[in-house]
Structure 1
């Protein structure tokens, strides 16, 4: 296993440009430099089979979600740097290798060594670190593969393993549209918090089948869903199914795959627009975070992506833009039960972390989806001023004291700060 060590010239050029944007606050540049070089130097490992293994930070496993999200800022230098493009393609190869092993798993081992987070009651094998089924875990690899194509022109990531994995993803999404009747997936973790296991002997809370959306057992936080139709993840699915249709038509030339992706995309989209919108006094029509199809809604947002805050970032466009605007207003207020204010900061946190802890990921997402440069800069300043004195981003931190934080090393948060700073400096990821 080979680890990347030297900072490439393509990244040094970006560092030099970014430095010129913050002469009044050099700390922003120093934090950016640490965050941007940290993942490539510490989390990325080239394997002997030309795949790339990416640890999520302080946990020695590869999450499908985190490995894509933490490498997204490197799409910019990959436009001119073949070595970085090779790394990204190697990540996609490994992600789809894993998906073909088990599309219901969210995190995998470097080798089939039997390591795991817990001895859970589900269909485990030696490759799996954890088998929490999350819709977003199947969306991120498609997104990364597509963005590599759009930003570098590379198409060698779309090999037979990609196509096989894509069909597995479609089959799982289809099955989970009818979770009650058709799904064999179960997950039980004994002697733990209720957020770390599924109710009803591992099946999860009851949902209405056939409404278009696809069921998810867990959120991108790895916490169990309250209601099984996780709206932001279904929004993400709509976007990547559009990507998959385009890939199938133009690259792999499979009319069957293109047709299947397009049909499923429409069903999920209609399900969101018909079943995920409700009214909230003072805000009007808004998207719920989760629904069950029977009329129950969970009005909140979580710091992890996909989130309702990240709709525009992901590329989801609903039928009525006002609903998205109303939703943003709600989730960036204390009408969202996980929005916290304190002496040091305010923003969106998560039930995954303590009360009054907000996340750098959410602060950066607020900046990335901001409509003005002034708000983007405000969120950069806020994130940089709440690093806990470590010159890196963290998972959650206390709104009263940023030296109280969770996770010493969290590659995803570092990547989000890097992307926000680069976005502010004019670097745009094509999609």
Structure 2
């Protein structure tokens, strides 16, 4: 039996849907019946069962059961549309390796972009972590996880500095064209047949650690990590990160060769690196790992990206635990432990800035006119003393740091950082986050990717996930519900002053994150889901 026949026999060929299934990019921009009974009359945006790319009975059961947990009809419809969005629409192909029919592979697209990002695919699956159980079958959520980990391992071994990848040859799917990348000059070079885009981002490396840790934590399936290429891929992740601790100059002031360079012909400064692809200079001996680009795929202003280093450090411990369980990797475990220690020390020694102390945590905060200051985490630093004081909506962010376990949500320095992140103070004394977008539609963190005025619902969702304040949570839920432009899905960004101005109709990660957040509220604050938003 050839490989394609085997896939069909296994029933896991995800892209074998009926040709009558509508294109979801167009479908997601329509208002499809039936409509919710609330004031927003939100449409039902799930494809017909035969057109969904993966089915999970446990998630279908949860969606049904949540109808008695969520009282508001519009909030329930938004949950109903969003939680399963990745499974409904984005499992572009799920099969096995051409050389080993036991090795599962899963190709997950972001939504309206037909490529697989390491970061997005990891986060898309994390929405289903509460449902993940040990399961050897190839029609299970566990199989999706194993397939993503295996395919990410292959990608990392092919081009560890890249962030976004083409379909595997086994899928039979054609590679996608990225017209923006035509002019790219990248070191190390890559093949467009394998790579969609090659922007080096530390969170891409961290995302492989994250999805691996999540799978092992939920299933205790240590045997999986002994097979295939996981250990080799992990060694590549660690060696790549260590290579990106290279500073700009040696001790005598000579310019060092950078392991990674990137330039693009573009009219957007965030799409290329300064200094002919080197980026802004980075100091020696910080212990931090450089990142050329942010999780928004925008270039870093300063290359020591603090949220990315936080995320990377947070998941080094769990992967060391996997290695210890496997056994026989004592030297490698020590190498990882040393790297984790240096990164954490670097964050606390170089990633903290003193700023004027804000007097409240609201978006209209005013500054204390005295000289009182507080320490908060910077978004980016260079090790020379320069710091970027801001946050971006994309995860990893400073706002999301408790979600990936770098610190507790009640940590004093985090709370101070949070006050600044969620403030758009324009006082002459300085303060606040220049990318906090305030307006009557959605007040939330945005970023350079969509530009000033464009707030990201993802940041509102993260704000809820990291808050214990009922009023704050309710306020954010009201704004999110009102900001879908009647489409019943979570957009990438929304104009804070015009709900009809938004980006990306089909952004699977953000949809799944909303569903994940509602499930979190059902566990820790179920009374909020009994509220009316009418």
* TM-score, normalised with respect to structure 2: 0.77
Q: Deviations over 1:281-317 (max 9, x none)?
A: 1241111000000000000000000000011111003
Contact 1:242-1:262 within 8 A present in 2 as well: yes
Change (3 A) 1:356 1:252: farther
Q: 2:142 aligns with which of 70, 85, 90?
A: 85
Within 5 Å, give how 1:231-270 maps onto structure 2.
Answer: 231-270=306-345
SS in 1 for 2:286: coil
Number of the residue aligned with 1:166? 234
Query: For 1:296 and 1:116, how far apart are their aligned partners in 2?
Result: 38
Q: Is 1:327 matched up with 2:413?
A: no
Instruction: State whether structure 2 residue 442 is matched by structure 1 residue 394.
Output: no
Query: Does the residue aligned with 2:84 lie in a helix, a strand or coil?
Result: helix
Q: Which residue of 1 aligns with 2:362?
A: none
Residue 205 of structure 1: how far off its partner (Å) = 0.8
Structure 2 segments unaligned to the other structure (5+ residues)? 1-12, 16-51, 98-103, 249-255, 359-373, 425-431, 526-534
Confirm or deny that 1:132 pairs with 2:199. yes
Match of 2:123 in 1: 69
RMSD across aligned positions (CA): 1.9
User: Equivalent residue for 2:277?
Assistant: 202
Q: State the shift of 1:9 in Å.
A: 1.9
Q: Is the 8 A contact 2:53 2:90 kept in 1?
A: no
SS for the counterpart of 2:221 is coil
State the distance in 1 between where 2:380 and 2:485 align.
33
Q: Residues 31 and 80 from structure 1, CA distance in 2 versus in 1: closer, same or farther, beyond 3 angstroms?
A: farther
2:447 is aligned, of 332, 350, 360, to 350
Instruction: Give the match for residue 185 of structure 1.
Output: 260
Report if aligned partners of 1:289, 1:308 keep a CA contact under 8 Å in 2: yes
Deviation of 1:256 after TM superposition, in Å, equals 1.8
Superposed displacement of residue 5, structure 1: 4.0
Partner of 2:364: none
Cα distance in 2 between the residues matched to 1:97 and 1:192: 33
CA distance in 2, matches of 1:336, 1:19: 38
Find 2:290's aligned residue among 191, 198, 215.
215
Q: Which moved more, 1:185-194 or 1:108-117?
A: 108-117
The answer to whether the 8 Å contact 1:340/1:346 transfers is yes
Deviates more, 1:217-226 or 1:113-122: 113-122
Separation in structure 1 between the aligned mates of residue 185 and residue 55 of structure 2, nearest angstrom? 43
Find the counterpart in structure 1 of residue 23 from structure 2: none
Relative to its length, the structure with more helix (as a share) is: 1
SS of the residue corresponding to residue 245 of structure 2 reads: helix
Alpha-carbon distance in 2 for matches of 1:80, 1:377: 36
2:313/2:340 contact within 8 Å kept: yes
Q: C-alpha separation between the residues in 2 aligned to 1:242 and 1:147?
A: 12
Per-residue CA deviation, residues 145-182 of structure 1 (Å, 9 max, x unaligned), is: 11111123333542341111111111111111114235
Correspondence for 1:16: 64
Count of aligned pairs:
426
Q: Please tell me whether residue 109 in structure 1 is matched to residue 172 in structure 2.
A: no
Moved more, 379-388 or 152-161: 152-161
Partner of 1:315: 405
Which of 15, 31, 50 is equivalent to 2:78? Answer: 31
